[in-house]
Amino acid sequence: MAQLQDQNGTTVLHRAPLKQPRRSFRSWFIGRPLPTADAPHQTIGKAIGLAVFASDAMSSTAYATQEILVVLALAGTGAFVFAFPISIAIVALLAIVTISYEQTIHAYPGGGGSYIVAHDNLGELPAQIAGASLLTDYVLTVSVSISSGVAQIVSALPELFPYRVYISIAMIFLIMLVNLRGVRESGVVFAIPGYYFITLMYLTVVVGLFRYATGSLGTVIDPPPLEMIHQAQGVSLFLILRAFASGTSAMTGTEAISNGITAFKEPRSRNAGITLIWMSLILGSLVLAITFLAAHIQAIPSEDETVISQIVRTVFNGRGLLYVAAISATSLILILAANTSFAGFPRLSAILATDGFLPRQLAYRGSRLVYSRGIIALAIISALLVFIFQASVTALIPLYAIGVFMAFTLSQVGMARRWWKVGHLLPGQEVKEHGSTLRHESGWQLKMVTNSIGAVCTAVVVVIFAITKFMDGAWMVVLIVPVLVLAFSRIHHHYRSLAAQLSLEKYGAPPPLGRHRVILPISGVHRGTLAALHYARRLSDDITAVHVSIDPAEAERVQQKWEIWGDGTRLVILDSPYRLMLEPLLDYIEDMAARRLPNEIITVVVPEFVPKHWQHNLLHTRTANLLRSTLLSREGLVITDVPYQVK
pTM score = 0.78
Q: In the 8-state DSSP scheme, what is residue 44? A: B
Using CA atoms in the order 522, 528, 533, 536, what is the torsion angle rounded to 10 degrees?
Answer: -100
C-alpha distances out from residue 172 to 149, 331, 343, 376, 380, Å: 11, 14, 14, 10, 9
pLDDT of residue 407: 87
| Alpha carbon distance 369, 33 (integer Å) | 8
Rg, Å, the chain Cα set: 32
Superfamily of domain 44-403+465-494, CATH level 4: Amino acid/polyamine transporter I (1.20.1740.10)
Which residues, listed in sequence order, are joined to residue 1 by a DSSP beta bridge? Answer: none
Q: In the 8-state DSSP scheme, what is residue 471? A: I
Please name which of 444, 354, 356, 456 lies closest in space to residue 405, comparing C-alpha atoms.
456
Domain coordinates in residue numbering, the chain: 44-403+465-494, 516-645
Give the contacts of 39 (CB within 8 A, at least 6 positions apart).
369
Whether 461 and 248 have beta carbons less than 8 Å apart is answered as: yes
Backbone phi and psi for residue 414, each to the nearest 5 degrees, phi listed first? -65, -40
Backbone phi and psi for residue 431, each to the nearest 5 degrees, phi listed first? -130, 120
The per-residue pLDDT for range 405-453, each reduced to its tens digit, is 888 899 999 999 999 999 888 888 888 887 788 888 888 898 898 889 8
The per-residue pLDDT for range 250-272, each reduced to its tens digit, is 887 788 888 778 888 888 889 99
Give the contacts of 417 (CB within 8 A, at least 6 positions apart).
121, 122
Q: In the 8-state DSSP scheme, what is residue 235? A: -
Give the contacts of 34 (CB within 8 A, at least 6 positions apart).
42, 182, 367, 368, 369
The per-residue pLDDT for range 18-69, each reduced to its tens digit, is 667 677 666 666 777 777 667 666 788 888 888 888 887 887 887 788 888 9
Q: In the 8-state DSSP scheme, what is residue 258? A: H
CATH code that applies to domain 516-645 = 3.40.50.620
| Alpha carbon distance 637, 634 (integer Å) | 6
Length of the chain: 647
Q: Which parts of the chain sit beneath pLDDT 50? A: none
Q: Give the distance from CA 293 to its chain's centroid.
A: 36
pLDDT of residue 18: 61
C-alpha distances out from residue 366 to 27, 371, 569, Å: 12, 6, 49
Whether 510 and 627 have beta carbons less than 8 Å apart is answered as: no
Q: Give the distance from CA 342 to its chain's centroid.
A: 7
H or E segment to which residue 76 belongs: none
- CB burial class (10 A; 0-12, 13-18, 19+) of residue 497? exposed
Backbone phi and psi for residue 549, each to the nearest 5 degrees, phi listed first? -95, 110
Whether 276 and 196 have beta carbons less than 8 Å apart is answered as: no
Please name which of 129, 47, 91 lies closest in space to residue 403, comparing C-alpha atoms.
129
According to DSSP H, which parts of 511-622 are helical?
527-539, 552-565, 582-594
pLDDT of residue 413: 93
Say whether 619 sits in a helix, a strand or coil.
helix
Q: Is the peptide bond before 267 cis (omega within 30 degrees of 0)?
A: yes
Q: In the 8-state DSSP scheme, what is residue 599? A: T
| Alpha carbon distance 246, 351 (integer Å) | 30
| Alpha carbon distance 353, 115 (integer Å) | 12
pLDDT of residue 512: 66
Q: What does the buried/exposed string (b/e) look like for 285-307 if buried means 16 or more CB atoms within 10 Å of the residue's CB?
A: ebbbbbbbbbbbbebbbbbebbb
C-alpha distances out from residue 456 to 18, 45, 257, 464, Å: 59, 34, 22, 12
Using CA atoms in the order 81, 83, 89, 91, what is the torsion angle rounded to 10 degrees?
Answer: -130
Please name which of 272, 205, 242, 368 lies closest in space to residue 54, comparing C-alpha atoms.
272
Whether 315 and 211 have beta carbons less than 8 Å apart is answered as: yes
What does the DSSP assignment read for 156-204? H-GGGGGGHHHHHHHHHHHHHHHHTT-HHHHHHHHHHHHHHHHHHHHHH
